[in-house]
Structure 1
Amino acid sequence: MIWRSIYKMAQNSLAEGVFAINKPYGMSSAQVIRDCQHHFNPSKLFAPLLAADRALREKEGRYQKQRRTHAKREINVKIGHGGTLDPLATGVLILGVGKGTKALHDFLGCTKTYETVVVFGASTDTYDRVGKLIKKGDYSTITREQVEEALNSFRGKFQQMPPLYSALKMNGKPLYEYAREGKPIPREIETREVDVTELELTEWYEPGTHNHRWPTEEAEQAEKNVVKSVWQVAKNQQDGTTSTEEAATLIPEVVEKEVKALANHESNKRAAEERVDELVSEEPAGKKRKTETGAAEPMMSGALKDKKGKDKKQDKYAKNRGLDLAPPPPSPDTPFPWEGKGPPAAKIRMTVTSGFYVRSLCHDLGEKLGCGAMMAELVRSRQGEFVLGTDNCMEYSDLALGEEVWAPKIQKALDLWNNKDKAGKAQAVEPVVKKEEVKTEEVKAEEIKAEDDKTEKQPTPTPTPEQPTNEVNVEESASAKDGAKA
């Protein structure tokens, strides 16, 4: 059939495999995939891959074709990512193309290297500079030596508390609603074991020598009280002074007091509730809250509203819906939110296991120092074998320069991946073959020497039924077995 010939022809030159791209600031990982598809679909590099997919579609039956949704009927270059990056972060985003998507799950558990900038003196609800200001602390006495000493407790394996921004809403419901109804929160605050293999303070910024700053927007008092009560429960859990069962009942009781206080200020309460409702929750994968129409509402940690007040995450099919999800860094002429030189800051590099929250490290470091801290910048410089600035990690800006620029780079990265995969399989067999060859030569040398010795000393005995027919072969077999064990 025609589809078979097309598929065989295309299969010989398919551009498939794994490569990485430097994700820009403020962009979602899903938007990077959409942008790549926009450039890859009409390209010559991926034309054979699309031809192969079309040929396979021709093989499908009528029922199978009808089951496809309208969106899935369109043939695009198949792309997936091996672990998302927050809009605030930049750096290595691993992408799989074609059959390379099957290898992406291997990168979810690999080690990663991050570089982050921590600003001391304030804490936010999201643990980073795009959240709302919760509290400030005295940073006047913080030194580099104190920070380096505090970092010692974050090396190796320990239990890390995820960002409690997600705890402000559970199952799509603000915590104060549970308190108002007299119900406990639906689940406890869970920690996870993480492993920090490398942790180093690489740069220290004295007060007045950097442009990093706290957010200017402060949370309402209701939000502050909720956040602080949750933080206190989390701290008690980590210190072992509060059990998870006690935590499940303690939080609503603390928040309920705030609800009663807000009852005397009805106008402020309405504004506070609306602001809390705008918080984005982080829910487990596969469990998405449904809207009034029954459609699943897309959830994204850190999603922001545009200038018109429209929530970008609501419009599922909007063009470029994954852009401008984080406010731009402040310009140098923006007034600082403090008097005097302001707080110090530090750049920290770490190599960590999967599931590690960099923003939690920044927040916990500030709590340990007693002054508060938040994450201002985040770069993933390495994930597995993919490193920024190398041949297997392309710059996102190359896409806009045309296929003549990005195609050779992607092809080189895919070749590196495919050749590494083949070399890995060959190496797995090669040492065994060489080892057997060496042992065989040694055994042959021993055989020849044994035969010469026996020939010189005595004639070969006549074989009998009770005696082995060849003593040399018996010794050779034993020698060969010993060699194999070695």
Structure 2
Amino acid sequence: MSGQKIYEGILPVHKPEGVTSADVIRKLQRHFKPSDTFQGYLENETSRRSRDSNWQTRKKRRKLLHPDVKIGHGGTLDPMATGVLITGIGVGTKHLSKFLECSKTYETIIVFGAETDSYDRMGKIVRKADYEHVTRELVEEAMKKFRGKIMQRPPIFSAKRIQGKRLYEYAREGIEPPMAIKSSAVEVYDLRIVEWYEPGTHEYKWPEEELPAEEKEVAERMLDKEAAIPVASEAEAEAAQANTAAEDTKKRKVSPDILNEASEGVKDDAATKRQKTDTQNLNPESTTEEPNVVKKEHNTAKTDEAKESDPITIPAEKEEEAPRPPAAKIIMTVSSGFYVRSLAHDLGKAVGSCALMSELVRSKQGDYTLEPENILEYKDLDAGEEVWSPKVIRLLEAWQEKNP
């Protein structure tokens, strides 16, 4: 043993857009293992393993002699999202569960007038709707129903499992899950608009690609499920869940078996065209063969009584114009298990239109905030150990002092 100090604990990292949470862990590993900063940790780990009979087998011998810095994270962020990603180093990995359960603060940009299969700008457009009636006042009124305890349905492109298969896998194959997607009870502690963007005053846009016609029908059916349901107690949450499940059963006009058979020719083609590396935000990738068609037609004059499940169709002549939708920057503090993408989608329905999430920043998780002195910048890793090491040591030592 060299007597070098052992650094471990909780390390918040500022995740940039375009990388997965797993990418962050791998990059930390690549920089930490060969560094002088973590030699004390690695020597201690080698010594510990040499005394542990479980590491004496030939199969584990190499890992005994060449350990990695143990690193995990306390809750993923989608590739398009930025902000606080909590990582655990060494013994810190045992404390990550508390960050899965803690409250989180997000800042998001929601753009109205269109919805995608993934509920965000990384997906492909399923439907467009009129947005001329959408005002800040209308949105603020609709937001009242999303505060407090609500039942929220996960996005169809999420890692939730149904019968052992993730939801995004069903979506990529263009088929509905064999049973209803269950809503979950979540809580919204704070939800407010911090900036409103009138049409034509911002650069947030819808995606350009639309789903192919053969996949759009299933996507529309899944997107038309009921939006978030406000609840006042756990008992009411259970009752709301039961009612939602009953409604889902009623709405299923075609059995899962028939659906599977009908989409058999689509599955192989869709599966080969669509690939994405992160399980939190996998989106289909295929070319649009025909323009988006919205089957329902409604009066474009919409008031505060606009129904959440009744989006207004854009008249044909407007589809040729460049979209100039309104958008809003919204800040929220929410419980664990909350999907910001679902909020964007449901809020669009609540104002009689459609909406998608265009930007997302996690600005706080637990006690860790997105402030330069409180977080490791991802870009600092490439700047060299002399840049990132002092901040990493300071953050880990601060955690060790609080958790002796």
Task: Identify whether the pair has TM-score above 0.5, normalized to the shorter chain.
Answer: yes
Indicate the residue corresponding to 2:214 in structure 1.
Answer: 222
- Aligned partners of 1:156 and 1:236: how far apart in 2? 11
Q: Please give the residue correspondences for 1:130-209 in structure 2 after superposition, counting only pairs within 5 Å.
A: 130-166=122-158, 171-172=164-165, 174=170, 186-209=178-201
1:30 to 2:22 alignment: yes
User: 1:139: Cα distance to partner?
Assistant: 0.7
Alpha-carbon contact 2:117-2:123 (below 8 Å) kept: yes
- Aligned partners of 2:271 and 2:20: how far apart in 1? 23
Which digits, 9 at most, give the CA deviation of each residue in 1:236-276, with x for residues without a partner? 9998996525634743618899899x89xxxxx84676226
1:351 to 2:333 alignment: yes
1:125 to 2:117 alignment: yes
1:24 partner amino acid: P
TM-score where L is the length of structure 1:
0.65
- Aligned partners of 1:94 and 1:59: how far apart in 2? 31
Indicate the residue corresponding to 2:254 in structure 1.
Answer: 253
- Aligned partners of 1:43 and 1:219: how far apart in 2? 47
1:350 partner amino acid: M
Indicate the residue corresponding to 2:34 in structure 1.
Answer: 42
- Aligned partners of 1:36 and 1:177: how far apart in 2? 34
Indicate the residue corresponding to 2:357 in structure 1.
Answer: 375
User: 1:392: Cα distance to partner?
Assistant: 2.8
Alpha-carbon contact 1:123-1:372 (below 8 Å) kept: yes
Indicate the residue corresponding to 1:112 in structure 2.
Answer: 104
- Aligned partners of 2:351 and 2:122: how far apart in 1? 22
Of 399, 408, 416, the match for 2:390: 408
Larger Rg: 1
Instruction: Provide the secondary structure at the position in 1 that maps to 2:193.
Output: strand
Q: Please give the residue correspondences for 1:329-348 in structure 2 after superposition, counting only pairs within 5 Å.
A: 339-340=321-322, 342-348=324-330
Instruction: Provide the secondary structure at the position in 2 that maps to 1:417.
Output: helix
- Aligned partners of 2:67 and 2:207: how far apart in 1? 44
Q: Please give the residue correspondences for 1:281-320 in structure 2 after superposition, counting only pairs within 5 Å.
A: 300-303=279-282
Alpha-carbon contact 1:229-1:254 (below 8 Å) kept: no
Are residues 104 and 154 of structure 1, via their aligned partners in 2, closer, same or farther at CA, if it must alter by over 3 Å? same
- Aligned partners of 1:404 and 1:206: how far apart in 2? 46
Alpha-carbon contact 1:17-1:414 (below 8 Å) kept: yes
Of 345, 350, 355, the match for 1:363: 345
Of 87, 92, 95, the match for 2:87: 95
Aligned residues: 359
- Aligned partners of 1:351 and 1:278: how far apart in 2? 37
Indicate the residue corresponding to 2:370 in structure 1.
Answer: 388
More helix by share: 1
Indicate the residue corresponding to 1:317 in structure 2.
Answer: none
User: 1:338: Cα distance to partner?
Assistant: 6.5
Instruction: Provide the secondary structure at the position in 1 that maps to 2:204.
Output: coil
1:50 partner amino acid: L
Indicate the residue corresponding to 2:57 in structure 1.
Answer: 65
Instruction: Provide the secondary structure at the position in 2 that maps to 1:363.
Output: helix
Which digits, 9 at most, give the CA deviation of each residue in 1:110-145, with x for residues without a partner? 000000000100011110011111110111121111
2:270 partner amino acid: R
Indicate the residue corresponding to 1:55 in structure 2.
Answer: 47
Of 405, 419, 422, the match for 2:401: 419
- Aligned partners of 1:14 and 1:130: how far apart in 2? 41
Indicate the residue corresponding to 2:269 in structure 1.
Answer: 274
List gaps (5 residues or longer) in structure 2.
231-239, 287-318
- Aligned partners of 1:247 and 1:69: how far apart in 2? 53
Percent pairwise identity: 42
Alpha-carbon contact 2:109-2:360 (below 8 Å) kept: yes
Alpha-carbon contact 2:153-2:228 (below 8 Å) kept: no
TM-score where L is the length of structure 2:
0.78
Are residues 277 and 71 of structure 1, via their aligned partners in 2, closer, same or farther at CA, if it must alter by over 3 Å? farther
Instruction: Provide the secondary structure at the position in 2 that maps to 1:108.
Output: helix
- Aligned partners of 1:133 and 1:381: how far apart in 2? 28
Of 71, 76, 86, the match for 2:68: 76
**Does 107-116 or 382-391 show the bigger shift?**
382-391
- Aligned partners of 2:43 and 2:252: how far apart in 1? 58
Alpha-carbon contact 1:121-1:136 (below 8 Å) kept: yes
**Does 376-385 or 223-232 show the bigger shift?**
223-232
Alpha-carbon contact 1:223-1:272 (below 8 Å) kept: no
